[in-house]
Chain A
Amino acid sequence: MSLEVRRTDEGLELELTGEWVAQRVPAIESGLAAVDLAAARQVSIATQRLSALDLSGAWALRQLLSRARAAGVAVSFRGPPPDQLRLLEEILADTSPAGASAASGPPARQPLTAIGRNAVLAGRDLLQGLAFVGRASTTLLRGLARPRRLRPISIARHVYDTGLTAVPIVALIAFLISVIIAYMSAKQLRGLGADIYVVDLVAIGVLRELGVLLTSIIVAGRSGSAFAAELGSMRLNEEVDALIATGVDPFEVLVLPRVLGLTIALPLLTIIADLTGLTGGALLCRYLLDMPLTQYASRVTEAIASTTFWVGLVKAPVFAVLIALAGCYRGLQVRESARELGRLVTVAVVQAIFCVILADALFAVLFMEMDV
């Protein structure tokens, strides 16, 4: 118990007991809430039996005092009022309305304003994105004139980070996907006695579309997020500002090596995905369809045109640029908070994957028009 209440002729006698500390505030508050001030004309408070009173405890006591004052009840202390109460009054002396407005938070947005605001923000975001691409391109052109400024060592590091370390996962996924296609199509085509076309499906599917597309999606998840997180935490740490302040262009040392590194790594990864994809198809044909490997090989060469492999591969550098730009752009947008970092890394990955698939769709139309 934190409180003893006695009724006398004039009013209430409150005896505060035990520890009035932050940990006990909920109990104290419920104790105080039970005190019925209505019938009382005056309240006398004794604090001698308190074993501890901290600021939160004093605040709870003050709540009681202001409640009493509002009810027109006179309050007196038996003995001197506690020091903490005086400190509290001192702190709260300059009660300004700002304190109240601090409570109310931002004003609720009207739906119409929200639509307008979002439209403006989206437009501005698009413009900034274009500006970013523009700056990256001009930095590249300047770099081409003086190749040493392209930071070959840094590019090599990014080829390693985004390419070499991704080989196992890319190979595994390409292998599994080709097994899935082969298995799925074998079931359908066997009914028609057209088993042999399983090879066509695997070869063309993997080389033209799936090899590069899946690799790009994996890389967007792995490296797009890494770019955004790396640059984002550099921003939070003011490292980017430090670079700019020393007269180093962050596009030159941060953005461009990542874009170029990924542009080299992604086609290489795509080739690996193509190879393991074809291997997966071969194994499945060998063991599921009892097709000799020599027959598989000759069927693959028959199925694909001379362009099939290149049609897939040519997309890789384009996807790489999209992924790297999305990651770097969002990373450099991070400001102020860890939450912002998380949000923008998410945005980077989602947009990278979206851009890759959109670009792939455009490529599909383009290649159909070109008849390759």
Chain B
Amino acid sequence: MLQVQGLVNRFGTQVVHDGLDMEVRADEVFGIVGGSGAGKSVLLRTILGLQRPIAGVVRIDGGDITRMSGAQLRSVKAHYGVTFQAGALYTGLTVLQNVQLPMIEHLELERSALQELALLRIRLVGLPAEAARKYPAELSGGMVKRAALARALALDPRLLFLDEPTSGLDPVSAAAFDELVLYLQKQLRLTIVMITHDLDSIFRTCNRVGVIVDGRMESDTLQRIVDHPHPWIRAYFHGERARARRGAAHGA
């Protein structure tokens, strides 16, 4: 579904990615983990074609997006959905219009069909229908995340990128959001790539996890990556917070 090979990204003398490989298989939830500044966002921006890498290959559905023309890239973009960390909803448009925008750009639908398909997305992510009329500034944090998800699903993508989907949410909302992601993944047979810091979220949703360390990625199933010998990965999965979380899980 998605392959990254030998990715190199540098800013001046600072090396962010140094031969990073990553593979995401169809129908899985793949978590990307890494310390602050490890290059998670740069990786996502590279995959989305927002930034050209110095070297390396990014294949989405087989095509290498780093060598694509603008028009080719545009058609690839119609096949995946993205949510950004802060939602990135268009503040001047209502939620409904936000969801409709990609549809208007990529599909030639009639007004009524556009309306109904957009409302369908809004209900799909569990937002009340009244939310459709609201502007992003009138929504709570959790609703913004859901609205962003509805917009990401506007074109019925097979591949979905979520950048820190649960950051800034309370644990209950975060859990509900994870549930939603899992539900959508199953029902719509999505492949999901998720950048996250939230250990709970990783344990709840991810099948496989890739950890960015030293400019490369160590990826494996969740069970196996937890026992990876790399010191940062150990610290991440076996630190104070992780222990507390696991203790709670075992106790329950």
Chain A residues at the B interface, C-beta cutoff of 8 Å:
21-23, 25-26, 29, 54-57, 59, 83, 87-88, 91-92, 96, 98-99, 102-103, 105, 236, 335-340
| Cβ-defined contact, B119 with A22, below 8 A | no
Contact A337 B120 (CB under 8 A): no
| Chain A residue nearest to B137 in the complex (CB) | A336
Contact surface of B with A, Cβ cutoff 8 Å: 78, 90-92, 96, 103, 106-110, 113, 115-117, 119-121, 123-124, 128-130, 132-133, 135-137, 153-156, 187-188
Q: Are A92 and B133 in contact (CB under 8 A)?
A: no
Contacts of B103 in A (CB 8 A): 22
Residue among A54, A56, A98, A102 facing the most chain B CB atoms (10 A cut-off): A102
Given A87-B187, A337-B137, A26-B124 contact (CB < 8 Å): no
List chain B residues, Cβ under 8 A from A29.
109-110, 113
| Contacting pair B120 A88 (CB below 8 A) | yes
B63 to chain A, nearest CB (A): 16
Complex contact A22–B135 (CB within 8 A): no
Main SS of chain B's interface residues? helix
Q: Which residues of A contact B130 (CB under 8 A)?
A: 98, 102
A55 and B156 contact, CB distance less than 8 A: yes
B208 CB → nearest A CB, Å: 24
Minimal Cβ-Cβ distance residue in B for A336: B137
Which one of A21, A91, A92, A336 has the greatest number of beta carbons of chain B within 10 Å? A91
Partner of B120, one of A55, A98, A236: A55
Indicate whether A92 sits within 8 Å of B92 (C-beta atoms), given known contacts A56-B156, A102-B129, A337-B137: no
Query: What residues of chain A lie closer than 8 Å to B110, measured between beta carbons?
Result: 29
B147 to chain A, nearest CB (A): 13
- In the bound complex, do residue B124 and residue A91 qualify as a contact, i.e. CB atoms below 8 Å apart? yes
Residues of A within 8 A of B156 (CB): 21-22, 54-57
Contact B107 A59 (CB under 8 A): no
Can you list the 7 inter-chain pairs with the closest CB atoms, starting with the nearest? A339-B92, A337-B91, A336-B137, A54-B156, A99-B129, A22-B156, A98-B129
Q: Which of A22, A83, A99, A337 has the most CB of B within 10 A?
A: A22
Q: Which residues of B contact A96 (CB under 8 A)?
A: 129
* Contact with B137, one of A26, A83, A335 (Cβ below 8 angstroms): A335
Give the CA-CA distance A59 to B91 in the complex, in Å.
28
> What residues of B have a CB within 8 angstroms of the CB of A339 in the complex?
91-92
- Contact A103 B128, beta carbon cutoff 8 Å: no
Bound Cα distance A96, B131 (Å): 13
27 contacts between A and B (CB under 8 A): A22-B103, A23-B78, A23-B155, A25-B109, A25-B113, A26-B108, A54-B188, A55-B120, A55-B124, A55-B153, A56-B117, A59-B116, A87-B188, A91-B120, A91-B123, A91-B124, A96-B129, A99-B119, A99-B123, A99-B132, A103-B115, A336-B136, A337-B91, A338-B90, A338-B92, A340-B91, A340-B92
Measured between beta carbons, the chain A residues less than 8 angstroms from B78 are 23
B107 & A22 in contact (Cβ 8 Å cutoff): yes
A91: which B residues are within 8 A, CB to CB? 120, 123-124
In the bound assembly, the distance between CA atoms of A83 and B188 in angstroms comes to 10
- Please measure, in the bound complex, the distance between the C-alpha atom of A235 and the C-alpha atom of B103, giving whole angstroms: 31
Distance in angstroms between the alpha carbons of A29 and B111 in the assembled complex: 13
Docked CA distance A103–B122 (Å): 13
Further contacts, 9 of them, CB under 8 A, given A59-B116, A98-B130, A338-B90: A25-B109, A29-B110, A29-B113, A57-B156, A59-B120, A92-B123, A98-B128, A103-B115, A103-B119
